[in-house]
A and B are shown apart, each in its own frame.
Chain A
Amino acid sequence: MRLFIGIDLGSTTTKAVVLDESREVLGRGITNSRSNYDTAAAVAKHEALVAARFALFRRALGKSGALGASLDAFIAQLERDFRLEQFLEQLGDLEAECAKNVATGRFAEAATAVGAALAETFGRLREEAPSLFAAGARRKSDFFRDIAGSRYLAVAEEVAKAAGLRYELLLNVFDRSILAVENRVYGENISRNLLAALERTFAALPGTAARADQIRAPIRDVLATPLEETYVVGTGYGRARLPFSKEHIRSEILCHGLGAHVMYPGTRTVLDIGGQDTKAIQVDAHGIVESFQMNDRCAAGCGRYLGYIADEMNMGLHELGPLAMKATKTIRINSTCTVFAGAELRDRLALGERREDIMAGLHRAIVLRAMSILARSGGIRDEFTFTGGVAKNEAAVKALRELVFENYGAMTININPDSIYTGALGAATFAWRAVCEEGRVAERREAA
C-alpha cells in the first residue's frame, strides 16, 4: 500500500502525518523533539504508521462487520492495550539499561542495594502500568519519557525511603538510562505488540472473544500488508537534519499554508504560533503561499513566552489558559519582551492585581504581537485559520477572536483540534502531490 508521509521537525515537538492514495489522513504521530532530530523524526513517523495500522484495522473490521456496533469500543480498547504493551516493552528496556548502568561499578558498595531497589521499583511500575492505560485514565503526556519519568520518580522515592537508600542514587541511574531508551526506535515490534494487545482486548471485552477468529483474520491481513513509504517530505526548523534530498524538504511556511488549506479550503490567512516563532501566511485559493512574515530578532509573542510565564508563576503551561479564562478584567501588559513581561507580572502582583486578570493581559499581549506580524503580512482575510501549539490555549484564542473582530470585523476563524499537525499535513500533501498530481512532471522539470 502506497503511503505519503510528512514530517514536521519543530523546536518542541516532532509531528508526522501519513496519507493514503486518496489523500485521507491514515495516521498522526507526535514525539518530543529532544536533542536528536533523527530519532525524533523516526519516532514520530513510527507513531504515525502505528496509527495508520489502527485506521486500517478499523476499515477492515468495519468492512467485515465482525464487531458491529462495538467496533469503536473495541478499537479504543485495542489501542490502549497496544500502548500498554509498547510501554511495558520500553519499561523492560529501561530496566535493562538501568541494570547495565548499575553494573558499571559507579555505585560501588551501594550497587547491590540500588539493584534491589530498582527491581522493586520496576516491579511496582509494571504492576501499575495497566491502570495508566485504562479507559478514562488521564495522562499529562503520551511520551514515554514523561509517563515513565513521573511514575519512576514517585515510586522510586517510596522504595528508597522504605529501603533506607539515598533517593539521589535512583535518580542518577534513571537520568543515565532514559536517553538511550528514548532514542530507540521500535519499528519492527509492532506486530508482536499488537498480537499481545489483541489477547488483552479479548480478555477485557469478553463479549468479543467468541468472534476472536473473525476479528483476528482482517487484523492479520492488515499486518501482512506492506506499508510502502512512497514519498516522504520533511519540514520545520530541523529539516536540514533529515536524511532527505533537497527535493524532499519544504519550508514550514509552505507546509503550514498548504496544511491549513487542506483542513479548511476557504483559508486565506494563516496564523501559526509555535514554540519559537510566529508566522503569518497569506495563501491563495489553492493553498499556495502569496506572502508571509515571521517574528524577527526576538521570540517575544511565541509559545515560549507562555512557557516562561508558566515557569515564573510555578504553574504548568496547560494551566495558564484556564486561569486566564477566570479573569474579570484584562490587566494591560505593555511589554512584549518575554523577560520584561516577567518583571511586569511581578510588578502587577505586588500591586495586588489578581493572577487571573494578569494572565488575561499576558495572553492579550502575545496575541497583540501576532496581530502586528499579521498586519505586516498584509492583514487578515476571510477565512482565517489559527494553528500551532498556542491555538490549543483557550485564553489566547479568546484574545485573538476579540482582536480580530476589533480590527478586521466579523469573519470565519478556523481552529482545528489537530492544528498541531498542520505543517506535517502540508508536508504529506506535498509528498502526495509530488507523486500523484500532474505537478509531478513540472516539479521534476523544475528540479532538473
Chain B
Amino acid sequence: MSTPAGSRATPAAQTTTPKAVVKEDAMWLQKALINRNYHDLATARERGRKIAATFVPGNLNELLMCFDFARSLPETNALQNALRKRSGKLVMEAERDGQSEDVCTYVKADIGMFLQGEVGPTGEPLPRPDVLLLSYTGCFTFMKWFELIRHKFGGETVMLHVPYQADGRIRPAMRDYVVKQLRETVIPALERISGVKFDIDRLREYLKESQKAEEDLVAVLQTAKHRPSPIDGYFGAVYYIGPIFTAFRGTPEATEYYRVLRAEIEARLRAGKGPLTPEGDHPGEKYRLVVEGPPNWTHFRDFWKMFYDEGAVVVASTYSKVGGVYDFGFRHDPARPLESLAEYCLGCYTNLNFAQRIDMICRYMDDYRADGLLVNSIKSCNSFSAGQLLILREVEKRTGRPAAFIESDLVDPRYFSAANIRNRLESYFQMIRQKRLAAGVH
C-alpha cells in the first residue's frame, strides 16, 4: 500500500483526448520530490550509497536516513508504474515467472519490474536493494514478498517484528519488544551493511521534522470536516500523503511541502471552494463519503471521475492512514526516538484489529458528517479484504447510514470493470439521495 506521489500519466496513455491536468502547487512540488527520489535511487551506486527497500506501513524512514541509505518503497514503485499504465505487463511478466493469478499484484508488479531489467517508473534505473528492511505491521504478504525478492535477487533481509494489536491496545511490553529489536537487531545490521555508525541525535533531528510535517498533514486532512470540504480525503489525499508516507518523512523538504500544502488548502477553505479535481474545481458537493480500502491505480483518474461527476466527495478514508495514523494524536517524538518509532509501527492502520478499524470508520462517519461508507475491496489482497463485509455491516448498523461495496484491484488492469463499478456507484449515490428524500417526504 502506498501513494501515487508525483505521478502524472502521460496524456497519450491516459485518454484519447489529451487534456491539461489541473494540480495544486503542492502537487507539482510533490511530483518533483518523488521524481528526485527516483533519481537518487538511480544514481545511488555511482555516489557510493547503499539502497534500502522498506514497506510503507511501518516504514522507518528516519532511521534509514541515519545510515545514508537511498530509500525505495516497493508498493509506491508498483502504483507509480500502474499510474503510468506500465503495471499490466509487469504483472504478466511475474505470472510467466511462476506467480499465480491470486498473488498480490503489488508483489507481482515489483517482481516484474526486476525481471524486466530494473527500470523504475520514471524510466531511470532502479537498482536492486542492498537491504530489505521488513517492518512487519500486519500485512502477512510483506514477509513472503521480501522472501521472494531475496530468493530471486539477493539482498539481506532485516526483520522487525511488530506485534499485532489483537486486543486493541499497545501494551508497554509490546513497545519494549520492538525497541529491543531495533537496538539489538535492526540498528547493528544497518550499521554493518551501510558502514555508517548510528547517531541517535541525528535521528532526533529527523524526528523533529517528522513531527512538524505530521502536524500540517493532519490539519490538511481534517479540513474535510467542513462543508463543503476543500479536499477529497481519498483521491486528493493520496497525493498529500505521498512525501510523508515514503522516502521523505523526516526531511526538511517534506516539512516545507506540508507547510505549502496546508497554506494552499486553508486558502481553499477560506474561499469556500471544494476539492480540486484533475479537471478543475469540483462541480459541487452532493454526497460525503468515507472510503475503506486502497484505490485502483490502473484507472485512477477514471475511478475518481466516477465520484466527482456525480457530486461525491470522499471526506475521510482509512487508506490515507496506511503510512501512519496521526489524526488521533500520535506524533513522532524526538525526546523518545526509538520508543516513538516503535509506537508508530504498532499504531499503523494495517496493525489495528477489526474492532479498531470499525471504531475508526464510525468515528470518521460522525466527525466528518458523512452520508455513507464505501468499501473498495481489492481482489488480490488476501490480507485486508477478509472481513470487509463485516466491517460494512457493523458500520451500517451503528451509524444507520447506507454502505456499499465495490471490487477492483490495485495494479492489475484486468480487474477494473468500469461499467460494473460505475453502475454500483451511481446506484449507491441515488440510494443515498432517495433515503434523504424519503426522510423529508415520508
A interface residues (Cβ-Cβ under 8 A, vs B): 237, 250-254, 284, 286, 288-294, 296-297, 376, 378, 437-439, 442-443, 446
Q: Are A288 and B427 in contact, with the CB atoms below 8 A?
A: no
Q: Which residues of B (74-129) have their CB < 8 Å from a CB of A?
A: none
A448 to chain B, nearest CB (A): 10
Tell me, in angstroms, the Cα distance from A332 to B209 when the chains sit together. 63
Known: A253-B431, A254-B434, A297-B417. 19 other contacts (CB 8 A): A251-B426, A252-B427, A253-B427, A253-B430, A288-B434, A288-B438, A291-B396, A291-B403, A294-B424, A296-B406, A296-B407, A296-B420, A297-B379, A297-B407, A376-B405, A437-B441, A438-B441, A442-B441, A446-B436
Chain B residues with CB under 8 Å of A251's CB are 423, 426-427, 430-431
**Majority SS at the chain B contact face:** helix
Chain B residues with CB under 8 Å of A439's CB are 437, 441
Name the residue of chain B whose CB is nearest to the CB of A236.
Answer: B423
Tell me, in angstroms, the Cα distance from A111 to B396 when the chains sit together. 70
Q: What are 28 A-B pairs with beta-carbon distances under 8 A?
A: A237-B419, A237-B423, A250-B430, A251-B426, A252-B427, A253-B427, A253-B430, A254-B427, A254-B431, A254-B434, A288-B435, A288-B438, A289-B427, A289-B434, A291-B396, A291-B404, A292-B431, A294-B424, A296-B406, A296-B417, A297-B379, A297-B407, A297-B417, A376-B405, A437-B441, A442-B437, A443-B437, A446-B433
Tell me, in angstroms, the Cα distance from A289 to B420 when the chains sit together. 18
Q: Which residues of B (393-415) have their CB < 8 Å from a CB of A?
A: 393, 396, 402-407, 415
Chain A residues with CB under 8 Å of B431's CB are 251, 253-254, 288-290, 292
Name the residue of chain A whose CB is nearest to the CB of B425.
Answer: A251
Tell me, in angstroms, the Cα distance from A196 to B91 when the chains sit together. 66
> Would you call B47 an interface residue if the criterion is a C-beta within 8 Å of the partner chain's C-beta atoms?
no
Chain B residues with CB under 8 Å of A446's CB are 433, 436-437
Q: Which of B403, B405, B415, B431 has the most CB of A within 10 A?
A: B431
> Would you call B442 an interface residue if the criterion is a C-beta within 8 Å of the partner chain's C-beta atoms?
yes
B33 to chain A, nearest CB (A): 36
Chain A residues with CB under 8 Å of B427's CB are 251-254, 289, 292
Chain B residues with CB under 8 Å of A297's CB are 379, 407, 415, 417, 420
Tell me, in angstroms, the Cα distance from A286 to B420 when the chains sit together. 27
**CB within 8 Å: A-B pair count:** 63
Tell me, in angstroms, the Cα distance from A40 to B424 when the chains sit together. 24
Chain A residues with CB under 8 Å of B441's CB are 437-439, 442
Name the residue of chain A whose CB is nearest to the CB of B442.
Answer: A286
Chain A residues with CB under 8 Å of B393's CB are 378
> Would you call B440 an interface residue if the criterion is a C-beta within 8 Å of the partner chain's C-beta atoms?
yes
> Would you call B389 an interface residue if the criterion is a C-beta within 8 Å of the partner chain's C-beta atoms?
yes
A82 to chain B, nearest CB (A): 37
- Contact code string B372-406 (vs A, CB < 8 Å = 1, else 0): 00000001000000000100010010000011111
Tell me, in angstroms, the Cα distance from A254 to B437 when the chains sit together. 13
Chain B residues with CB under 8 Å of A294's CB are 420, 423-424
Name the residue of chain A whose CB is nearest to the CB of B392.
Answer: A291
Tell me, in angstroms, the Cα distance from A288 to B433 when the chains sit together. 10
Q: Are A254 and B424 in contact, with the CB atoms below 8 A?
A: no
A256 to chain B, nearest CB (A): 10
Tell me, in angstroms, the Cα distance from A284 to B437 when the chains sit together. 13
B426 to chain A, nearest CB (A): 5
A8 to chain B, nearest CB (A): 14
Name the residue of chain A whose CB is nearest to the CB of B406.
Answer: A296
Tell me, in angstroms, the Cα distance from A288 to B402 when the chains sit together. 12
Q: Which of B419, B436, B437 has the most CB of A within 10 A?
A: B437
B201 to chain A, nearest CB (A): 53
Tell me, in angstroms, the Cα distance from A440 to B142 when the chains sit together. 53
Tell me, in angstroms, the Cα distance from A253 to B430 when the chains sit together. 9
Q: Are B389 and A291 in contact, with the CB atoms below 8 A?
A: no
Q: Are B405 and A293 in contact, with the CB atoms below 8 A?
A: yes
Tell me, in angstroms, the Cα distance from A247 to B140 when the chains sit together. 47
Tell me, in angstroms, the Cα distance from A56 to B438 when the chains sit together. 33
Q: Which of A237, A292, A296, A376 has the most CB of B within 10 A?
A: A296
Tell me, in angstroms, the Cα distance from A288 to B407 when the chains sit together. 24
Tell me, in angstroms, the Cα distance from A439 to B419 when the chains sit together. 30
B435 to chain A, nearest CB (A): 6
Chain A residues with CB under 8 Å of B434's CB are 254, 288-289
Tell me, in angstroms, the Cα distance from A378 to B395 when the chains sit together. 13
B302 to chain A, nearest CB (A): 15
Name the residue of chain B whose CB is nearest to the CB of A284.
Answer: B438
Name the residue of chain B whose CB is nearest to the CB of A279.
Answer: B427
Name the residue of chain A whose CB is nearest to the CB of B409.
Answer: A297
Chain B residues with CB under 8 Å of A254's CB are 427, 430-431, 434
Tell me, in angstroms, the Cα distance from A377 to B417 when the chains sit together. 20
Chain B residues with CB under 8 Å of A250's CB are 430
Chain B residues with CB under 8 Å of A442's CB are 437, 440-441
Name the residue of chain B whose CB is nearest to the CB of A296.
Answer: B407
Tell me, in angstroms, the Cα distance from A289 to B430 when the chains sit together. 9
Tell me, in angstroms, the Cα distance from A443 to B430 when the chains sit together. 11
Name the residue of chain B whose CB is nearest to the CB of A289.
Answer: B431
Query: Which 3 pairs show the lowest CB-CB distances between chains A and B?
Result: A251-B427, A253-B427, A296-B407
A418 to chain B, nearest CB (A): 23
Chain A residues with CB under 8 Å of B424's CB are 294
Tell me, in angstroms, the Cα distance from A290 to B438 when the chains sit together. 11
Name the residue of chain A whose CB is nearest to the CB of B421.
Answer: A296
Q: Which of B405, B427, B438 has the most CB of A within 10 A?
A: B427
B241 to chain A, nearest CB (A): 28
Tell me, in angstroms, the Cα distance from A237 to B435 when the chains sit together. 23
Name the residue of chain B whose CB is nearest to the CB of A437.
Answer: B441
Tell me, in angstroms, the Cα distance from A294 to B427 when the chains sit together. 11
Tell me, in angstroms, the Cα distance from A70 to B402 when the chains sit together. 53
Chain B residues with CB under 8 Å of A378's CB are 393
Chain B residues with CB under 8 Å of A237's CB are 419, 423
Name the residue of chain A whose CB is nearest to the CB of B286.
Answer: A446
